[in-house]
Structures are given as structure tokens and as C-alpha cells.
Structure 1
Amino acid sequence: MRTFPALRATVLVAMMSSAFALTTPAIAAVTVAVSPSQVSLPANGAQQFTATVTGSTDQNVTWLVNGVPGGAPSLGTISTSGVYTAPANAPTSFTATVTAQAEAAPLSTAAASAVVAASTYSGSMYYVATTGSDSASGSAAAPWRTIQHAMNTVPAGATVQVAGGTYNELVTITHSGSATAGYITLTSAPGQTATIDGTGLGVPQGQQGLVTLQNASYVRVIGLQLQNYTSNSSSLVPLGIYIAGSGDHIEIRNNHIHNIVTTVTTSSGDAFGLAVYGTATTPISNLIIDGNELDHLTTGYSESLSVNGNVQNWQVTNNKVHDNDNIGIVAIGFEGTAPTTSLDQARNGWIAGNTVYNISSTTNPAYNDQPGADGIYVDGGTQITIEWNSVQAADLGIELASEHSSRVTSYVTARNNLVLYSNVTGISIGGYASSVGGTSHCTIVNNTLFENDTLQSGSGEFQVQYHASNNLFANNILYANSQGLLVNSFVASSTPPVTLENDLSYTSDGASAAYWVWNNITYTTLSTFQQASKSETNGLLADPLFKSVATPDLQLSAGSPAINTGVNLGLATEGAYDYAGSPRTTSSGLIDRGAYQN
């Protein structure tokens, strides 16, 4: 799996400012000063940063860590008022750079950094093995037999190391580590794989994981295999890992979850690979889901990996999600998961570096075997950054929408992603019907969309549906298949649902095959589409000159019209790095179109 600069121990970010404008306004120079310029913090330590904007009466700034608005648990998080909180378990010599980006003008620069000391947790070690006994001491020489006994027994800061083998049990974790003592860690023994197998086990409480965390904090689950958990009833929901209630500082890393199954063939059947349900007034926060593999799940009407309800400051990073019969990764709001509507929304999230493929409901009887599964989906979430993901052969590559009337997905940025060979459409915004919700103030920039709508359904590369408003689609590369459909905005509207700017378009059959749909009217030339949409002024219909369309290799060859022709929208919008981990802009501030920076 690819490693990105943003996920390494050292994070290098220049401080920049931006505006949500497509051209640079002629205004006086704006600069930003941040204080203090450098600090040292312990794990979980906090620091108030102050930004001063000169050259403008507008003192508002956007705070970022490594170019991610609000940061993320592994990078440290920063509030809208500039309070940075260091990671609880940072690697040795961890360095993070926070950013204040002036909202008054684009491209003014300043710098500030926060140096974060590594965690020094060093709790006791306990052991579990298939040859052990729960009446033993739990030492290496006298291990326990069941994981559940270990998790009921160990104190805060302890690590439970499970020897390779198969454990046919359900594990529920209800007690916590702490900021001072450290995490309770459940992990496979080094070089071995502990397998929790659900064969023949029931589903207590109506919804149960092979591993369940209930109102637990400072807990880590690392390097386990979870498999073979099945339900034959619509009232019983099996999960690989289930996190519910409230909780703080939870890490789910490097686990393999597969063959979690519902055999119910109607829309009332549910199963999940990994689900996070924030069901309390206190949120689930500082959640890391990283490096896991979720595959061969039969989820019925549910999802492979779901973050739902009162969940804030979370990340879903570097996971591999594939060969499942419903949605790959989803962040959800407004389903009644949390006790009040104001809290019922996954928010302040980071979905990055994931590899998602073969996600389709065409073999799912709950969907009547019709294509409707997203690779990555935000359904009513807000303040989420989606970047560096590869989504291939999903029904819909990336979707930003809401399934609930009068509700919207809002303030989501999808940038620097690759979306290939989707069955229906590459990227979709707006609700699927007039009776549901929509998409507002979302930004889709510097993505590469390649030969999507393989079923030639008439959805195209970029689809705009119902109740979309104040959205931006810029600097993307759209390469349609022989169908030639690039943009499909089929809902007639007096106000534009999205502003398109500076996108590069082409088709596998050349420029003559290209067409666009706007307000449910078809346009066969770029100029007529520009006039009708009153956007895409600097759009270009030309061959992007990918390195290979056969492999495919979607990096840009020398001479590509996408090189150095993007609109620089500022760090908060375009991100610090491209899909491959290279700096997003050149030293002179130039930016390419598409997901790769040449």
C-alpha cells in the first residue's frame, strides 16, 4: 500500500491563504502572521495559536494541519479558534506544521509549526493463546485462553498479545485506557495472526461485532483477522468490528475483516464489516481507522465501512476495501443515530489514501441486483476531506449527497483522487430523487475520472442530480469512454447547481464524440455547453496525454495540456500533495489539472 507524506512522521506544509474564487482579485497584498512560531508539546498536549491578518479588515482564517482543514487524529487536530491538540500516540520525533490560511485573499503566505513529543506509554504485557487457561496468570509462560477474559481483566495501559490461532468467541470491550496510563491494546503476537472466527455464534443484543467497543476510550485493536460471522435473520446484524455509544481515542489498525454475511435477501437484511455508531450526546472522537482490509462481505442493505451519527475528528486512511456487494466507505448523517438532530452527523473527517475496488450491488438481491453501491459516499456528513483515494469498478465512484429530505451533505472537499471504470458514474452530487436531500457547498477539484459509466447508463463521468447548490467542480480531468458523456446535469433548475471551471475533457473516441447535458438539454460542443451553463469558461476539450490509456497510467506525459494550466485555489482547497504524494504546486505556484502534479 502506498505511503503518503501526510501520513509520515514528518509533515512539511507551507502556510498559504486562499479564497473560494476562481480568479485572483485585484486587492492589496494580504499577509498572515502566526504566533507562537514554534512549540514543543507532549502527547495530547494543546497549544493556542493566534493568526493576525494584515492588509485586510477580514481577520478570519482557516486552520489546517498538513493542508487538512481541522487536521486529523494522527496529525493532531486544530479548532476553528486555533487550538492545536497533539496526537495521543505520535511516533518518535513527530513533527507537524499547522497552517493559518487567510480567507480575505488567495496566495498570501506565512509559516508556523508545532513540534510534538512522542508518547511514552509503557504499560504491562499480557498474553492469550489457544493452549492457555483463564485461571492462569496471563503471563507469557501462563497465558489466558480467551480474549474476552483478558479484556475484562487488564488495567489501563496494558497490551494483550494474542498468539496465532483461531478463537471462536465474541469479544466486547467496555472499559478504557486513559490519557495518563495509556491505551488498552488488543493485538496479534508479532509475526503471527490471531483469528477471531464467528462460525456458529449467535448475535446477542440484536447487533454485535466479533469485536465490539461500547463506550470505550483509549483502546486499540491491531493486526487481527475477523471472519465468518453470519446472520439468517433480519433482526440480527453481524459485524466484524462494532464501535458504539461514545468514546475518545480509538484506533483500529491493520486488521483483516472478511466473510461477514447476512443471508437475508430483502432490504431488511444487514451486515457490516466495520461500523462506528455515535449514539450518545458525547461524541465518538479522535478515531483512527487505518490500514485495514475489508473484503468479501455480504452486507445486504448496509455498508462495508460506516461512520454514522455523533462522530467527530476521525480518519479513515490507507484501507483496502474490495469485492463487497454494497457501499465501500460511507460517512452518514441524519439517520436518527444520535439522540438529537444537531449531533446526528459524521463531521470533521479525513478519508485518504484508501484503495477501493469491485464494489457493486449487481449481485445483491436487496437491491434487486441493480447497480447502486458507492465506492466512497458521504450521505449527510459535513466538513470532510476526501483525498488520494483510488476508486475502481464501483457502481458509483464517489458520491456526495443526502438520502433525507431537506438535509444536505455540506462543506466536503474531494480532491486528488483517481476514479476509474465505475459502472454508473464517476462522481455524483445531488440526491437520487426529488423527494430526498442534496449537496451544498461541496468542492470537487483536481481529480482524474477515467472511462466511467461502463454500463453506458447515460450517467457519464460527472453526474448532478436533485437539490444541489453552491458547489464547485474545477481542475478535474474527465476522460469518457466511447459513450462520450462528460457532464450530466439532468435536473432543470433556474439556479446553477454547480460552478464548473478549468476542467479538461476528452473521450476514448476523440473530441468529436464528446457531449454534455445541462438543465436536461444535450450539447455537443464545448462552446454551447459553456454558454448554457455559464461556467467552464477556461474548460478545454483536448487529449490529456496520459502515459497510458491501456494500462492505464493516468500520470501526464510531457506536453500534456493539463500541465501548469490549473487554477490555483489555495492550500485549503487543493491540498498539499497530489495523488502520488508530490507537492501539489510548483515552486512558482503553478498547478496541473487532474490528480497528478507533473
Structure 2
Amino acid sequence: MSSKALRPAILLGLILLCGCSSTSTHNVTQPEQAGAYYVAADGDDNNRGTIDLPWETLQHAADLAAPGSTIYIREGVYHQKLHITNGGSEDAGPVIFSAYSGETAILDGEGLAVDGLEGLIEINNASYVTIQNLEIRNYQTADNGEVPAGIYVHGSGQSISLLNNRIHSIANTAAPEGEDLSGRDAHGIAVYGTEAEEALSDLTIDGNEVYDLVLGSSEAVAVNGNVDSFAITNNKIHDNDNIGIDIIGFEGTAGDEAVDQARNGMIKGNEVYGISSNHNPSYGASLPNGNYSAGGIYIDGGRSIRVEKNRVYDNDIGIELASEHKGKLTRDITVQDNLVYRNRLTGIAMGGYDEDRGGTSDSKVILNTLYQNDLLEGGGNGQLYLQANLSRNTITDNILVAGESGVLISNDYTSSSENTVDGNLYFAETGADEAIWVWKKQEYAGFSAYQRGTGNDRSSLFADPQFVDASAGDFRLQPDSRIVNGGSAGAKTD
């Protein structure tokens, strides 16, 4: 990860002095210097932008802000869009848009038109921009093909930070069209690296809450295309009708396949829950048994990413590493120290969802706790669902506890090679002899039969991990747990 010259937290509240003309241009008053400026619902764009004489519109502030400026937005509801093309610099620091301390600033999109993929806040080919402490809501459409987003970052640039925002009620309620049920799309946060020559880099998405979104076939938080170096950390993403966090490659976003892959990222410390595509008309919600295919965290074509210390629960799928494009691989992903529990279809899924998709390679699933996933009636996808086109992956030192299905690993595909599965701890209340593993289409009832038949998990254990109180979400281990006292699995559950 590249480092910032100056972090927004240090810059916030400072007045950075750099010369700026006070001459009126186009009948508006210019700020006297870069520093702290103010926007208020009862302001006037002919003012100087001071705390006593604030501006009225966010766009006016964005157009005049110099590198190092902080734009404070005072208490109120703003039915305005904000389109940022002027950013900061490495030397002077970012341009920061922030709610004023102790006040609630709301950007409300009710009644505002949506034109294509458009953000209520949009950052276009700009660098060194921070958006923080804002509520962003009610940007909606019922028109097929229009795509509202709470925050939309696109083009190229560096050092973009989206911090501690509350984004909700972004929606597309159009009827999907055609056999592919297309045209109903929206995003909470969308980051698209669309320039082949220059990546979007040093992206930070931290501390946001993203919820109550009607997404259709899109995602709550999406990072897509030529994006190199990012951190998605400490966010709460919940109660949306499609994927929570999606890291995407190979969709043609960047124009050049060589760089069309989000990469070199960290997804850490997020809480993701209540993500389901059931009842979403873009996913055939009219099917008799519904459609439970939305992942809490989904790496679809990404590369060189750590997924670490997230709590992912009550979704359709907990964490998924896959590629939807034939011949393309999601690779070099480390999924470590995550709590993944009570997800409906499965806990962790890997590989293409059929043989005509891509796959997952050179990735590690280590030190995770997977607890009572696979909740659907007649499911059987287990805690770990291994799909098509898997190669050179390592699955070790995890705790896997089966739910009512008794299935721990399900692998109904033979297109896998050179994968290592060992050093794990398994448990099912049915007991070691009744628990189920499926490996390359062959079902094994009982832990010993599975070990003999597959050669996997030779140093693994079948034992109760002895959580403090799993029913209450407390996955710490009791002092007399086999893991604490020398067991082979070492999942971190704090």
C-alpha cells in the first residue's frame, strides 16, 4: 500500500496558508486563502465562505477549493449534487469535504435526476480528495438503465478517502428487462478505474455505514477495473438486496485487459450482514425456492488482496473468491482470521460457479472460523463450498463447525489440482462418524473415511472447539479448548 503524504485526520481543522486571489470572477467572491471554508443551507455564494458568511452550494465550494482546503458543511439538508474535478496535492494536502463538528450535514437526492451511472457525490479524475462525516441518502430512480450511486469515483487519480459517511436509501426500483433481467442497478459506493494509462490508487474506504439499498444486479460497495492499492476497513454494510463488498476484474472497465483488475488491497475489520438477493427481481426472485446468491464479501477477478478480521454473518454467502469470466482467475488472495457464521448458502465459496466460468488460484484460506452456515432446507453446500477451476490453493488452520446439514466441505467438481487442505479442526453435533465431506463429487460419511479417501486433512482434528458462547456471537475459546491446548487448528476468534 502506498502511503499518504499527510493524513486527512491531521489536516482536518488546520488552516493551510497558500496565496489565492481575492478578485471577483464571474460575479462571485473568491476565497482569500486556502484553508477552512463553510457551506450552510442559508448561505450565499456571493459570500466569502467564512463561518459567519458561508456559501450556499457545495458545487460552488468545490469549484473554488484550492489544495489543502477543508470545506465544512453546516447542519441541514442539501438537495444538491456534488461533482468534484479539482483535488488537492501531495505537498499542500487534500481537499476535504466534511460535516462541521457536532452537526449533521445531509445530502438528500430526493427528486434529483439520475443520468447513467451518476453519484450524488462524484469524484472524476481527481486526486487528494476526502469525503467524511456526511449522511448521503434518497438518491433513487425508477428508470431502467439509470444507475444512482451515493458516492461515485471514476477515471484515474490517487489518495481518495471516503471516511465515516452514512449512506442509505439509494435505489433503482425499475422492472428488469429481457432474459438477463438487466437494467436495475444502483450502488452505495462505486469506484471505477476507467483509465488504462493510469490507475486509481491509494483508495481508502473506512468507517462508513452503507445500508438499506435497492441494488438490483449491482453492489453496495464496488471497486472495479484499474484500481491499484486500496483499503476497505472498519465499515458496517448491512441490509441490502445484493453483494456487500465486491472487488472486480475483467469486465472491460479499464479498456486494457492487462490492467483491468482491482488489485493490491486490504479488506479488514468490516461487519457485513443482512445481504440477500432473495426477493430481488434481478435474480429471479419469483423462483419457488428463492435465489440466495449474494455474497457479503465477493472477490470476482481481483488479485493480491487480504481479507482479514471481518465479521460476516446472516448473508446468502459469507465470503466468495471466484471469477465469472472463463479463462480468468481470481488469484493471490489471503482470507485470514475472519468470523463467518449463519450464512444461508455457505460460509466460504471458492472457484467458478460452473465449468464455463473462471476460477481461483494461489490463494490461502487460513485461521478462519466458519460456524453453522449452510442453512437452506435441502442445501448441503457446507461450511466451505469448493467449486470449479481451483488450483494451488491452501486451506489450513481453520475451524469449521457444521449446522443441521452436517456437511463440512462440499466439492462437486473435478476441475481442481494441487490444492492443500490440512491442519483444520472440524466439528458437527452429529459426531465424527456422521459428519459429511464431499470431495470431487464423492461423498464421505465420517471423518476417517474422508481422510482415507481423499488424502486431505491428515493432521487435522475432529473435536468441539468449545467457544465461549457461539449462539451469542462470542467465538472466543474456553481455557480447556483443544485448540488452546495444542490442537492443530489455530483460528483467531477474538
TM-score (norm 1): 0.75
Would the alpha carbon gap of residues 483 and 150 (structure 1) be closer, same or farther in structure 2, given more than 3 Å must change?
same
1:226 to 122, 136, 145: 136
Do residues 543 (structure 1) and 461 (structure 2) align? no
1:505 match: 426
Unpaired stretches in structure 1, ≥5 consecutive residues: 1-71, 78-84, 93-116, 568-591
Unpaired stretches in structure 2, ≥5 consecutive residues: 17-33, 286-290
Of residues 451-460 and 470-479 in structure 1, the stretch that sits farther from structure 2 once superposed is 451-460
> C-alpha separation between the residues in 1 aligned to 2:175 and 2:247?
24
1:88 match: 6
Do residues 518 (structure 1) and 436 (structure 2) align? no
Do residues 143 (structure 1) and 54 (structure 2) align? yes
1:81 match: none
> C-alpha separation between the residues in 1 aligned to 2:205 and 2:351?
27
> C-alpha separation between the residues in 2 aligned to 1:215 and 1:473?
40
> C-alpha separation between the residues in 2 aligned to 1:252 and 1:413?
24
Query: What is the CA-CA distance between 1:339 and the residue it aligns to?
Result: 1.8
Counterpart amino acid of 1:134? Answer: D
Q: Report 1:45-194 matches (<5 A).
A: 72=1, 77=2, 85=3, 88-89=6-7, 122=16, 123-194=34-105
Do residues 326 (structure 1) and 265 (structure 2) align? no
1:391 to 312, 337, 343: 312
1:316 to 232, 238, 243: 232
SS in structure 1 of the partner of residue 77 of structure 2: strand
Counterpart amino acid of 1:319? Answer: N
1:307 match: 223
Query: What is the CA-CA distance between 1:119 and the residue it aligns to?
Result: 13
Counterpart amino acid of 1:88? Answer: L
2:358 match: 437
Question: Residue deviations 1:250-292, cap 9 Å, x none?
Answer: 1000000000000123232100000000000200001100000
1:20 match: none
Give the share of equivalent positions with the same residue, in percent.
Answer: 41
Query: What is the CA-CA distance between 1:530 and the residue it aligns to?
Result: 1.6
> C-alpha separation between the residues in 2 aligned to 1:217 and 1:382?
23
2:480 match: 559
1:201 match: 112
2:202 to 286, 300, 303: 286
2:156 to 234, 246, 256: 246
Counterpart amino acid of 2:449? Answer: T
* Residue pair 1:469, 1:496 contacting (<8 A) in 2 also: yes
Question: Residue deviations 1:296-338, cap 9 Å, x none?
Answer: 0000000000000000111000000000000000110000000
* Residue pair 1:481, 1:509 contacting (<8 A) in 2 also: no
Do residues 473 (structure 1) and 395 (structure 2) align? yes
* Residue pair 1:332, 1:379 contacting (<8 A) in 2 also: yes
Counterpart amino acid of 1:289? Answer: I
Query: What is the CA-CA distance between 1:509 and the residue it aligns to?
Result: 3.5
Question: Residue deviations 1:72-124, cap 9 Å, x none?
Answer: 3xxxx3xxxxxxx56532867xxxxxxxxxxxxxxxxxxxxxxxx99988351
Over aligned residues, Cα RMSD in angstroms?
Answer: 1.9
Do residues 259 (structure 1) and 169 (structure 2) align? yes
* Residue pair 2:144, 2:175 contacting (<8 A) in 1 also: no
Counterpart amino acid of 1:242? Answer: Y
Would the alpha carbon gap of residues 361 and 88 (structure 1) be closer, same or farther in structure 2, given more than 3 Å must change?
same
SS in structure 1 of the partner of residue 394 of structure 2: strand
Do residues 419 (structure 1) and 335 (structure 2) align? no
> C-alpha separation between the residues in 2 aligned to 1:360 and 1:397?
11
* Residue pair 2:13, 2:70 contacting (<8 A) in 1 also: no
> C-alpha separation between the residues in 2 aligned to 1:335 and 1:302?
13
* Residue pair 2:346, 2:384 contacting (<8 A) in 1 also: yes
* Residue pair 1:408, 1:440 contacting (<8 A) in 2 also: yes
Choose between structure 1 and 2 for higher RCO, CA contacts under 8 A separated by at least 6 residues. Answer: 1
* Residue pair 1:322, 1:359 contacting (<8 A) in 2 also: yes
* Residue pair 2:4, 2:159 contacting (<8 A) in 1 also: no
1:358 match: 274
Question: Residue deviations 1:520-567, cap 9 Å, x none?
Answer: 111012122122222211111111111123323211111211225466
SS in structure 2 of the partner of residue 239 of structure 1: strand
> C-alpha separation between the residues in 2 aligned to 1:119 and 1:194?
17
Counterpart amino acid of 2:56? Answer: R
* Residue pair 2:5, 2:91 contacting (<8 A) in 1 also: no
Would the alpha carbon gap of residues 282 and 566 (structure 1) be closer, same or farther in structure 2, given more than 3 Å must change?
farther
> C-alpha separation between the residues in 1 aligned to 2:471 and 2:160?
42
Do residues 490 (structure 1) and 405 (structure 2) align? no
2:492 match: 595
1:11 match: none
Query: What is the CA-CA distance between 1:368 and the residue it aligns to?
Result: 1.4
> C-alpha separation between the residues in 2 aligned to 1:529 and 1:87?
53
TM-score (norm 2): 0.91
1:451 match: 372
Question: Residue deviations 1:137-193, cap 9 Å, x none?
Answer: 111111111111111111111110000110001110001100111110000010011
Query: What is the CA-CA distance between 1:375 and the residue it aligns to?
Result: 0.3
Counterpart amino acid of 1:273? Answer: G
SS in structure 1 of the partner of residue 472 of structure 2: coil
* Residue pair 2:187, 2:218 contacting (<8 A) in 1 also: yes
Counterpart amino acid of 1:234? Answer: N
> C-alpha separation between the residues in 2 aligned to 1:396 and 1:302?
16
